[in-house]
Amino acid sequence: MNSNIWVLMSADSVALATTLILAALGALFTERSGVLNLGIEGILLTSAITSFIAADSSGSIWLGLVVGSLLGAVLAGIHAVLAVTLRANQIVSGLALVIFGTGLANFLGKPYEGKNIETKILPLSFGPLTDIPVVGPVLFGQDPVTYFTIALAVGASWYLFRTRPGLELRATGDDPATVDAQGLKVSSIRIRYTLAGGAMVGLGGSWLMLAESAAWHQAATTNGIGWIALALVVFASWRPIRLIAGAILFGFTLQLPFTLQAENITFIPQAFLQMVPYAVTLISLIALSRPGSSNALGAPRALGTPFVRDER
């Protein structure tokens, strides 16, 4: 019985990691282009409720995923216009998006409080493979979106470091002036990847809603996962493969309180268990910091600074 719970917990950590990977991957692409989007938490929350509404009214969870992703791109679009086109302060713009998104999500979610979605996204079953002890449920008991996410992260790594557009993307985040001198449009590249990043975050929020929680709990639905995702990008040094490992670790800490509660391990107060994921994230962020510049970590050099070409 005991070991079963721990196996389930490992499987759940991989599952929770799905939202983390998608949200962090979205942030990673956005940041690689030089745009800092702090609005992840707001996008996650709004896409979660819109995917719920879409799935609930159409009866199709897949349509829910599509609508949620599109909404993620739309919200990121607001940030793109402000941060890239109008050169607004990216930090404040991202925060405004969190506040706006939280209000919007709660407004839209009001009639759906306490309501459950009828069909969740279900895990696949590979027959005998899934029945293998320990390894089975963890590797072969996930749902299609989780497998897609892992493939997306691996693909992202190849795209970033092995393709021409990937090179252009990295260059835009590091040295926009050179990219501009090459005749490429910095603002167009930045807007495109901010939108694409938003869609990934939106998919993450939709999946969290339609596979994990399946009921709307206002802001508690995401409960800070967006912020953990932002820290995860730093943790992974802006590299997609490291992001998978980090997400599984953070997914594990997010899962911990529930498992220990199920195990009746009560000598640690519940409230302190709830702190674990945030504390782990905090400590790892500090541990990775070095005096001097953050560039040692691999942060895009032009991250958060608008590109201003000398205009005639």
Partner 1 sequence: MNLPFRLAFEQRTETPRRLAVMVPLLSVLAAIVAGGIFLFATGYSPFETYSNMLSDGFFSSTGITDTLGLSTVLICTGIAAAFAFQMNLYNIGGEGQLYLGMIGGAWAGLFFGDRLPGFVMIPVVLLVGAACGALWIALPAFVRARLGTSEIVTTLLLTYIGASLVNHFIYRAGSYFRAPNTLFPQGRQVPDSAMLSPLGDTTMYPTFFLVTVLAVFLWWVVRRTEFGYRIQVISDSPRAARYAGISAQRTTVQVMMISGALSGLGGATLIVGTFGRLDPGIVLLGYGYAGIVIAALARNNMAAIIVSGILFAGLRTGGDKLQISTDTPIHIGVMLQGAILLFALGGEAFRRYRVKVVRMQTATAQGAAQ
What residues line the site for partner 1 (CB under 8 A)? 38, 42, 78, 81-82, 85-89, 91-93, 95-104, 106-108, 110, 185, 188, 191, 223-224, 227-228, 230-231, 234, 269, 271-272, 274-275, 278-279, 281-282, 285-286, 289-294, 308, 311
- CA end-to-end distance (rounded Å), the chain: 73
Q: How far is the CB of 42 from partner 1 (least distance, A)?
A: 8
Of 35 and 152, which CB lies nearer to partner 1 in the complex structure?
A: 35
Q: Which is nearer to partner 1, 127 or 292 (CB)?
A: 292
Which residue number, 56 or 143, has a Cβ lying nearer to partner 1?
Answer: 56
Q: Rounded to the nearest 5°, which phi and psi values hold at 183? A: 90, 10
- Tokens describing residue 23: 């949200």
For partner 1, the closer CB: 110 or 155: 110
* CB-based contact 32:193 (threshold 8 Å): yes
Residue 161 makes CB contacts below 8 A (sequence gap 6+) with none
| Residue 188 beta carbon to partner 1: minimum distance, rounded to whole angstroms | 5
Q: How far is the CB of 233 from partner 1 (least distance, A)?
A: 10
Identify whether the C-beta of residue 141 lies closer than 8 Å to the C-beta of residue 15. no
**Could you tell me the smallest distance in angstroms from the CB atom of residue 86 to partner 1?**
4
How far is residue 162's CA from residue 179's CA, in Å, rounded to a whole number? 18
In this complex, which beta carbon is closest to partner 1, that of residue 115 or of residue 185? Answer: 185
Which of residues 74 and 95 has its CB atom nearest to partner 1 in the complex? 95
Taking the complex as a whole, the smallest distance from the CB of residue 220 to partner 1 amounts, in Å, to 10
| Least separation in angstroms between CB 35 and partner 1 | 14
Nearer to partner 1 by C-beta: 191 or 260? 191
Here the tokens at position 152 are 């997306």
Q: How far is the CB of 190 from partner 1 (least distance, A)?
A: 11
Cβ closest to partner 1, residue 181 vs residue 279: 279
279-282 CB contacts, 8 Å cutoff, 24+ apart: 280/249, 280/250, 280/253, 281/228, 281/231, 281/232, 281/235, 281/250, 282/231
Closest alpha carbon to 258 in 213, 208, 198, 202: 213
